[in-house]
Structure 1
Amino acid sequence: MADQSAATGRTITTDVCVVGAGPVGLLAALALGRQGWQVTLLERRPQPAPDANPKGPAVVNIVQPVTLHLLDRLGLLEQLSERAGVIPGAEIYFGGHLAAQYSYAELADCPVPHALSIRPFDLVRLLLSEVTDLPNVTVLWEADTEALVSGPDGGETLTVRTGEESLTVRARFVLAADGRESTVRELAGIPTEVMPAGGSYLDVVVPSPPDWDGAARAHFGAHGYLLETRRAEEGLVLVWITDADTAGKVVEGPVEGLVEMLSGVVPRLADWIAEHVTDWAQVRRVQHHFVRTKTWSQGNVVLIGDSAHGMHAFGGQGLNTSLQDAACLAEAVDSALRGDAAAGIESYEAVRRPFIEAFQSLQVSNTQQPPAPAAGEEERAPEFEVLALGQPRIRPLIADAARFLAADLDQHRR
């Protein structure tokens, strides 16, 4: 069992230091820990209780088949599925008319025949249980990173405070998975833009309607963008993304105005929405941010997920691309630790960054005022195949990462 308390010594020497114990940092720590590397995982928050549940409305994420395949290679898919909602496919509507209908099971080369709607906390709990079973992984809770110094040999030294104790962590690599306001990124001096997304994002959860088939449905029109999808293993989430003025006219009035707007976009659910959306307290409002950095790595410091490329929720690619980061970059770091060239990290960024930035631009086009005035509705929708399988140029790297995650420890040179 990994040590989850503050270390007793003032210096910890480790192969990899992962900063951030969200899903992304935990996946990276698990992937590298299973290869036998010494991993130190730092998290500024307190250790969660085993049976703790987050307060407030449960945030959900749609995890696409390409990402589920990575979790399956780690042996986690069956357990993750127990508290998740299965999404068999999707429908796309433009101006109220069905324009496209997709089934994951009918998509060529789809590694898992569905997507899953999950609570991120459930994924964290599952990954954490696997990480803490590894004797070579040390988890330090309530650990604040205060300084970062790169050594002449390529190693990294962090000054970390845990309670009253100041520790030194010496690592060959540091993986920053500490989110859009990344402390490690700031300490490394990597130039970054963190920009609040324009427009407005609101969501509301209602019970699953009778005979609902579980398919995700995306509606594009003058109202902006409306998504109806599963809320984990039960419930329906209605997500409305539009410009600030359009939303403002609705949210300044009674909740019936929101009910009228939602019902006008999805008339088949009008009675159900009116029955179950009765108070503004049910509606969650979120401010998303975009993150763009000059580089995703500097020396042996590597940014992963939101630390490198924070996104809007539109298209549901934030968690997916971040988990793919963790798997692909863990493989690249493993290779570097074994003495191979570290060019895999730079190569990953070269392939991935253009897609990420183009997707961020697509998200902007769906939140500006008014939504995408110069673009046809079809141009505002992401490609289903790319969401399900990943961008074409990244698929070979993800396939390599899947093999890496599934490989036996004995097959590696560590």
Structure 2
Amino acid sequence: MAGAFGELADTPADHALNVTQGSLRRTLLERVATRESVTLHAGSEVKRVDSALVGACRCVVSPVDGGGQEMALESRWIVAADGKQSSTRALTGIETHLERADYGLALVPVPTPRNYPRTIRAHRRPDGMATTVPGASPGLTYVFTHMADRTASPEQVVQWATRVVAASDEILGPALAAEARPERTFRIEPQIVNAAAWRNDGVLLLGDSAHGMHNIGGQGLNTALQDALSLGDALLRHAEDGKTERIDGFIDRRRPFIDRLQDAQRTLGEAFWPEAGAESWFRPRFAELSLGQQEMRRDWRDIAAA
């Protein structure tokens, strides 16, 4: 996807950089670890929540590998950013509706070529879309394949993905032709998560925990980062004055936008291939999908610059 970012409202950027989730996670953890006010327990799982009161939250966590003892942690808030299958959400009794799509995505793995750029690329065509994700697993690049032909066999998926990628990627295209195998493809099922509430007293849901998106065209990572900027700023304000207006105000402003985005995703399969003369679901939403809802972009820019 391309566009003149410099001409869009309230953004200082003239381009967008797509990075893999693993690279972003590593960068964020490194930045968080440098803050003196933060104690990082990476790789821990919330086992129970003993108190969810604002200002007096208490939970118990343990290492996911089972190699350590449980720890009791106290905080003013609990912010759950633990994904579509959020255990924190379940432990605090927030009702959630999980909606499965009526189609799946075929993933084609291929060994990542030497010195291949770690940049995600989306190849959209009238008959489907192939998204290449380097480093999705160690040493592997995945081609997330979403075809108009939902009955395509693994052999047809590999042939189609190879042909589409080779048209504009002179490195990965030949690698697919040489290395991709139908028997190595597998499918995943897109899901939408819709939590009844994003806040339950002192527990806040963020990103996929609150509003999990479809894997293709989903914007899950984008919306989670945008949530984090606004919630982080609101939590700092709460620490100063003890008021929750900024937190609740963010949810009130944010939720209608997210609800509309999720509603659109329910027809995402058809929207990739509009009828003759109709406009693609993606085209008029370039700014919205890349930069988030317009009325909050200036806020995010100011928060990030502070």
- From 173, 187, 207, the equivalent of 1:305 is 207
Q: 1:258 to 1:227 in 2, by over 3 A?
A: closer
Q: How many residues align?
A: 291
Give the equivalent residue in structure 2 for 1:198: 102
**C-alpha distance in structure 1 between counterparts of 2:60 and 2:277, whole Å:** 52
Secondary structure at the aligned position of 1:180 is classed as coil
**C-alpha distance in structure 1 between counterparts of 2:218 and 2:74, whole Å:** 36
**C-alpha distance in structure 1 between counterparts of 2:93 and 2:276, whole Å:** 38
Q: What residue identity is the alignment partner of 1:240?
A: T
Give the equivalent residue in structure 2 for 1:182: 86
- From 108, 120, 133, the equivalent of 2:34 is 133
- From 271, 280, 288, the equivalent of 2:182 is 280
Q: Answer yes or no: is the 8 Å Cα contact 2:108–2:158 preserved in 1.
A: no
Structure 1 regions of 5+ residues with no counterpart?
1-88, 91-101, 209-213, 407-414
**Is residue 50 of structure 2 the alignment partner of residue 149 of structure 1?**
yes
Q: Answer yes or no: is the 8 Å Cα contact 2:272–2:281 preserved in 1.
A: no
Higher relative contact order (CA 8 A, sep 6+): 1
| Pairwise CA distance, 1:374 | 8.0
**C-alpha distance in structure 2 between counterparts of 1:310 and 1:296, whole Å:** 12
**C-alpha distance in structure 2 between counterparts of 1:394 and 1:218, whole Å:** 29
**C-alpha distance in structure 2 between counterparts of 1:242 and 1:363, whole Å:** 16
Give the equivalent residue in structure 2 for 1:396: 298
| Pairwise CA distance, 1:226 | 0.9
- From 247, 252, 256, the equivalent of 1:350 is 252
| Pairwise CA distance, 1:342 | 1.2
| Pairwise CA distance, 1:292 | 0.3
Give the TM-score normalised by the residue count of structure 2: 0.78
| Pairwise CA distance, 1:115 | 1.7
Give the TM-score normalised by the residue count of structure 1: 0.60
**C-alpha distance in structure 1 between counterparts of 2:45 and 2:141, whole Å:** 38
Fraction of identical pairs, as percent: 29
| Pairwise CA distance, 1:346 | 1.6
- From 77, 102, 117, the equivalent of 2:18 is 117
Q: 1:299 to 1:278 in 2, by over 3 A?
A: closer
**C-alpha distance in structure 2 between counterparts of 1:283 and 1:151, whole Å:** 43
Q: 1:140 to 1:386 in 2, by over 3 A?
A: same
Q: Answer yes or no: is the 8 Å Cα contact 1:218–1:228 preserved in 2.
A: yes
**C-alpha distance in structure 1 between counterparts of 2:11 and 2:302, whole Å:** 16
Q: What residue identity is the alignment partner of 1:179?
A: G
Q: Answer yes or no: is the 8 Å Cα contact 1:264–1:270 preserved in 2.
A: no
Q: Answer yes or no: is the 8 Å Cα contact 1:159–1:167 preserved in 2.
A: yes
**C-alpha distance in structure 2 between counterparts of 1:359 and 1:136, whole Å:** 35
Q: 1:304 to 1:174 in 2, by over 3 A?
A: same
Range moving further from structure 2, 164-173 or 269-278: 269-278
**C-alpha distance in structure 2 between counterparts of 1:116 and 1:258, whole Å:** 28
**C-alpha distance in structure 2 between counterparts of 1:299 and 1:371, whole Å:** 40
Moved over 6 A (4+): 205-208, 263-267, 370-376
Secondary structure at the aligned position of 1:241 is classed as strand
Secondary structure at the aligned position of 1:139 is classed as coil
Give the equivalent residue in structure 2 for 1:23: none
Structure 2 regions of 5+ residues with no counterpart?
114-118
- From 265, 268, 280, the equivalent of 1:366 is 268
**C-alpha distance in structure 1 between counterparts of 2:289 and 2:239, whole Å:** 32
Give the equivalent residue in structure 2 for 1:327: 229
Give the equivalent residue in structure 1 for 2:116: none
**C-alpha distance in structure 2 between counterparts of 1:133 and 1:194, whole Å:** 36
CA distances 1:275-318 after superposition (whole Å, capped 9, x unpaired)? 34641256453333211001111111110111111111222511
Q: What residue identity is the alignment partner of 2:24?
A: L
Give the equivalent residue in structure 2 for 1:248: 151
Q: 1:261 to 1:125 in 2, by over 3 A?
A: closer
| Pairwise CA distance, 1:166 | 3.5
Q: 1:219 to 1:334 in 2, by over 3 A?
A: same
CA-based RMSD of the aligned residues comes to 3.7
Secondary structure at the aligned position of 2:241 is classed as coil
**C-alpha distance in structure 2 between counterparts of 1:362 and 1:388, whole Å:** 16
| Pairwise CA distance, 1:267 | 8.7
CA distances 1:149-180 after superposition (whole Å, capped 9, x unpaired)? 33666421213345563432221111111111
Secondary structure at the aligned position of 2:269 is classed as coil
Q: What residue identity is the alignment partner of 1:288?
A: P
